[in-house]
Structure 1
Amino acid sequence: MTAAATHTTLLYDGDRHYASATGRFLREGLEAGHRTLVMAPPSRVEAIRRELGRDADEVAVVDDAVAYGPQWNAYRVVLDFVAAAPGVRSRVVAEQPLATRTPVELVDYRRLESAANLVFADHPVDLLCPYDAGLPDHLVDIALDAHDGVLGDGCVAPNARFRDPLAVLADLSAVVPPPAGAATLDCSHHSDLSLVRGLVRSRSAGRGLDPGVVADLELAVTEALTNALVHGSAPVLVHVYDEDRTWVWHVQDGGGLPVSPLAGLLPPAEPTDHGYGLWLARQLVAAVDVGSDDSGTHVRLHVRV
């Protein structure tokens, strides 16, 4: 029987501590015959390589700009890495520079870290997420809320601060209404899909966004709007506005059924599964918020500007 996944954090104090702890974690995996992966900034990767010496050649590396661009792509990188060798356990070091993230991206990263306990629960993988102990408290809180173990002195200690992932996700699913100045369109008919796609392209032209970013946003909005039209109820509205250095495309429908805090967080078994559209949208834009209340179901898609 395959041992359960683990999700551990490391609060490191300086470069030496980081390299020593992550290097030991990876080397122990290599000695046990596990596959190893590092998703981290180049400077961190280089520190790990120096620590491992010749063993570094056995470690797969994905630059954090790729693994976390957008953030939810990190799930796909890890899932693909694990799936490439069925039955073989994997060890993964995953870190990105949180100080560069916008407030809404940090909310989504908190969501990503807590959901990882559910997404990878049945996979043969040990995840280690290092955090600089000198980060502001609200960032260190992400580490302590989302990991049930803390690596220190070569062993993992239980984390008393660990919170139930479903409780964290429920707290983060509160509806944020569109601001009074938002541009709002009624898109209650399937024929409105092509109109909205054209609107994404035309409004993006004035933003100076990369064509690839525009294409991803267009697809994400299409998926969210299609979900609303198929699974929601009228009226279906699209609000467009700016928030926290991001451009928001906010899809709202009349609701009817409560939305699970897990909506779009777990990879669907088939592309036709309900929830695939939200899962895909998370791989395309900077952040996604999903929630429902008496005003309906709300999906907010954020793009950096």
Structure 2
Amino acid sequence: MIAPQLAQALEDWLAQGRARRGYSGKTVEAYRADVAGFLTFLAAHNGGAEGVAGVGRLTVSDLRAFMAHERTRGTSARSLARRLSAVRGFCGWLGEREGFDVTAALSAQGPRGKARLPRPLAPQAARDVIDAVEAEPSEPWVAARDAAVVTLLYGLGLRISEALGLTGALAELPAVLRITGKGGKERLVPVLPAARAAVADYTRLCPHAITKDGPLFLGLRGGPLNPRLVQRAMERARMRLGLPATATPHALRHSFATHLLASGGDLRAIQELLGHASLSTTQGYTAVEAGHLLEVYEKAHPRA
């Protein structure tokens, strides 16, 4: 049970994050669940619901007890690290607002999960996936629609939510797209001729009216396209091609970045194209490319 005073403080923190940092609805819900879970644990750990003063008395032992509790529930190191980040953010904000210092308590080290590197497809495999999706034995306009979506993922490096968030006003793709990504961060993405042609094929075949204010990509009944349908098209394509389960729609975005890097693309430019807030996120792709370079080195170097 969370004390009403703390519950209101949590909502105030989330509202501030939404207003100042542009938290998305999903981010707000994740942070709410993470911090509420911690506050519920803290109340039980201390023998009853406490208000703001309870957070002011937070200790390193309390944080460690929470981490141990989460691990016994099967929470992964990666998920626990995310929850601790939310807890630190909230408690630090509350301490600053209320005038108490919880820095020492929040210094407790969380688990370090193994870095998960992107798993891109090979350039030919990425092209084969798009061809396989387009060759689906379904309605021609549906196959063209799915091919247009995956072309945007690979050709422009879009997230699936960004591709499906495009409106009918962009039925004729411009030379440069303005994309609003996570956290409301905007970026400009050049549009390849292949992407423009794929979208044009889809709009020409689509039997439903595509309105300027409505979604560009439509489902069978004319409503917004469910992302799960694109995922299923990818699943069928990878099964036909014998690709691993990691060949997902998001892997096409990873492939976009990795293939640009392999062709000599600048890491800062790729960061901008992907809409990453931090260069460290983009740097994950350098590890993938380093692995590829090492493989080439071992095969080609005369002393390898």
Is the structural similarity TM-score above 0.5? Answer: no
Structure with the greater alpha carbon radius of gyration: 2
User: Structure 2 length normalisation: TM-score?
Assistant: 0.21
- Which structure shows the bigger proportion of residues in helix conformation? 2
User: Structure 1 length normalisation: TM-score?
Assistant: 0.21
